[in-house]
Copies of this chain bind each other. A is one copy, B any other.
Amino acid sequence: MDDDRPVFFHLMAYADDADRDVVDMVSGDPDWEPPEALREGLRSFADAPVADYQYPPSEGLGELREEIAARRGVDVERVVITNGAGEANYLAMACGLEAHTGNEVVLTDPVYPYYSGRTEMLGGDARFVPVDEDGTLDPDAVRAVANDDTALVVVCSPNNPTGAVYGESVKRELVDIAETHDALFVSDEVYDHYDFSGDFHPALSFDSPNVVVTNSFSKSMATTGLRVGYAILPDHLVDPARTRHMLTNVAGSAPGQYAALRALRETPPDYYAANRAMLRERVDAFCDALDEAGADYTRPRGAFYVLVRFDGYPGTLENVERLIDEAGVAGMPGEAFGSSREDWIRFALVTPRAEEAAERLADHFG
Q: A residues touching B (Cβ–Cβ < 8 Å)?
A: 1-3, 5, 9, 27, 29-34, 39-40, 42-43, 45-47, 50-58, 83-84, 86-87, 90, 114, 117-118, 121, 222-227, 243-244, 246-256, 259
Most chain B CB within a 10 A radius of its CB, from A1, A53, A58, A254? A53
Which 8 A/B pairs are nearest by Cβ-Cβ distance?
A225-B254, A86-B250, A29-B54, A253-B253, A42-B46, A43-B46, A227-B253, A53-B223
Given A5-B58, A249-B84, A253-B255, A51–B29 Cβ distance below 8 Å?
yes
Take A42-B46, A45-B42, A255-B253 as given contacts and tell me if A121 and B244 are in contact as well, using a CB distance cutoff of 8 Å.
yes
Instruction: Say whether B55 contacts A114, CB under 8 Å.
Output: no
For A244, the chain B residues whose CB sits under 8 A away are 121
**How many Å from the CB of A361 to the closest CB on chain B?**
24
Given the complex of chains A and B, what is the CA–CA distance between A225 and B253 in angstroms?
A: 6
Whether the Cβ atoms of B118 and A253 lie closer than 8 Å is no
Known interface pairs A29-B54, A29-B55, A227-B251; 14 further A-B residue pairs with C-beta atoms within 8 A, sorted by A's residue number: A1-B243, A39-B46, A42-B45, A42-B46, A42-B255, A53-B226, A55-B224, A84-B249, A87-B249, A117-B243, A118-B247, A225-B255, A226-B255, A255-B256
In angstroms, Cα B22 to Cα A260, docked, is 32
Known: A45-B42, A243-B121, A248-B248. A50 touches B34 (CB 8 A): yes
Residue ID in chain B nearest A53 by CB atoms: B223
A311 CB to nearest chain B CB (Å): 33
Decide if A226 touches B249 in the complex (CB within 8 Å).
Answer: no
Question: What are 21 sample pairs from A and B whose C-beta atoms fall under 8 A apart?
Answer: A5-B250, A27-B54, A29-B55, A34-B50, A34-B53, A43-B43, A43-B46, A53-B226, A55-B224, A83-B252, A84-B251, A86-B250, A86-B251, A90-B249, A117-B246, A121-B244, A121-B247, A225-B253, A226-B253, A226-B254, A227-B254
Known A27-B55, A39-B46, A50-B30; judge A90-B227 contact (CB<8 A). no
B contact residues around A87 at 8 Å (CB): 248-250
Chain B nearest Cβ from A132, distance in angstroms: 28
Contacts of A50 in B (CB 8 A): 30-34, 222
Cα distance A108–B202 in the bound complex, in angstroms: 47
Contact of A84 among B47, B250, B259 (CB under 8 A): B250
Task: Say whether, besides A55-B27, A55-B29, A121-B247, A252 and B223 are in contact (CB < 8 Å).
Answer: no
Q: Which residues of B contact A226 (CB under 8 A)?
A: 53, 253-255
| Most chain B Cβ neighbours within 10 Å, of A1, A42, A250 | A250
Q: In the complex, what distance in Å separates the CA atom of A3 from the CA atom of B249? A: 13
Nearest CB to that of A225 among chain B residues?
A: B254
Asked if B255 and A53 sit within 8 Å, CB to CB, the answer is: no
Residues of B within 8 A of A40 (CB): 46
Shortest Cβ distance from residue A304 to the other chain B in the assembled complex, whole angstroms: 13
Which single residue of chain B is at the shortest CB-CB distance from A8? B55
Complex alpha-carbon distance, A252 and B34, angstroms: 18
CB pair B247–A227 under 8 Å, yes or no, is no
Contact B83 A249 (CB under 8 A): yes
Min C-beta distance of A249 to chain B, whole Å: 5
